[in-house]
Amino acid sequence: METKIFQSDQINQAAALLRQGELVAFPTETVYGLGANALLPESVKQVFAVKGRPSDNPLIVHVTDFSMTKEYVESYHPLTEKIVQHFWPGPLTLIFSIKTGSLSPVVTGGLSTAAFRMPDNKKTLSLIEETGAPLVGPSANTSGKPSPTTALHVYHDLKGKIAGILDDGATQIGVESTVLDLSGEVPTILRPGAVTKEKLEEVLGIEVPLDKHLVTESETPKAPGMKYKHYSPDTPVLMIKPADWKQAIAWAEMNNKKVGLLTTPKIADQYRSADRFVFADDTIEAATRGLFSGLRALDEAQKADIIFAEVFPDDHLGLAYMNRLKKAAAQNYFAEK
């Protein structure tokens, strides 16, 4: 299969393929999604096959506006309107209880709930509108590997497996959306993202708990990205705490380990390595934007035996960054034995 790269003036062609049941990857402000018509179960099944994704993993349904969800949702949480007004379009996915039979179990993972998002990307909103149906859109990569933040990343993983990719350059945020569960009484974050716990609490005026439960391989997750290990390159990753860099580098040299550095300029300037990916600046925003790109670049270069990755405080946007990094590293920090 030829995988075509679509530009802005070719959105109608990409939409035609989606209506026919083909798969087309699309850009969002977070990462690139692997698009299929959410109303065509056989197409959605192909998403799992192409990604190598467990079929019990629910998918996010991407819509053009809030009214598009009403055909599927059974009931809305009382705070839904306030949340949507403040955060849609944007990097926030909302989970609702849905009407029986309104969406295929292939989309919901067999659950009585479904996840919805309105992405903040004009090209993709046009694509959904042109398709005339909502689109499922898990990250457009091989399952378990770092998510794609450019069309080139998608092409690298899925060339010849999907019909096309709608290109919109590099994504702005770099990690997947926050997932907020509104199917119960208390809004609960199932996956942290750029819409932080603090931002939600400021708007809603209530405490918004974070579900830190990590799902094992035998459990059915309620939202994507809840597995214990995820986003992992083939090269092993170790998280390095601020006080441990000198010791970690010395350990690597002593054990003849070629190290790839995934760090801010502040750390990178202190150590010389055969291979490195340096974030654009020292901020958590730059680190989050560059995390998946950096993991991919260091892995694909095949110059490192191990990747040393910089950690950030587990709060605000750092919570989203560390959530992904911990899973990429299989929860492993450097600790000299």
Collapsing DSSP to helix, strand or coil, 262 comes out as strand
Residue 53 assigned ligand-binding role:
yes
113 is annotated as contributing to ligand binding: yes
Residue 121, CA distances (Å) to 26, 28, 96, 125, 142 in order: 9, 5, 23, 6, 23
Q: How wide is the angle at C-alpha 323 spanned by C-alphas 333 and 85, nearest 5°?
A: 165
Our CA dihedral for 187, 188, 194, 197, rounded to 10 degrees, sits at 80
Q: How far apart are CA 244 and CA 242, in angstroms?
A: 6
Annotated binding residue 67: no
| 62 appears as a binding residue in the annotation | yes
Q: Is 139 annotated as a binding residue?
A: yes
333 annotated ligand binder? no
C-alpha distances out from residue 78 to 81, 183, 184, 185, 292, Å: 7, 11, 11, 9, 36
Q: Does the annotation place 289 within a ligand binding site?
A: no
Phi-psi category of 316—alpha, beta or left, where left has phi over 0 and alpha has psi -120 to 50? left
Please state at what angle helix 11-19 crosses helix 122-131, rounded to 10 degrees: 40
For 26, the enclosing helix (H) or strand (E) is strand 24-26
To the question of whether residue 177 is assigned a binding role by annotation, the answer is yes
Query: Known binder of ligand: residue 143?
Result: no
* Both tokens assigned to 71: 């055909």
State yes or no: 213 annotated in a binding site. Answer: no
Q: How far apart are CA 217 and CA 161, in angstroms?
A: 25
Numbered residues of the known binding site for ATP = 53, 57, 113, 139, 147, 191, 231
Numbered residues of the known binding site for L-threonine = 30, 62, 117, 177
Numbered residues of the known binding site = 30, 53, 57, 62, 113, 117, 139, 147, 177, 191, 231
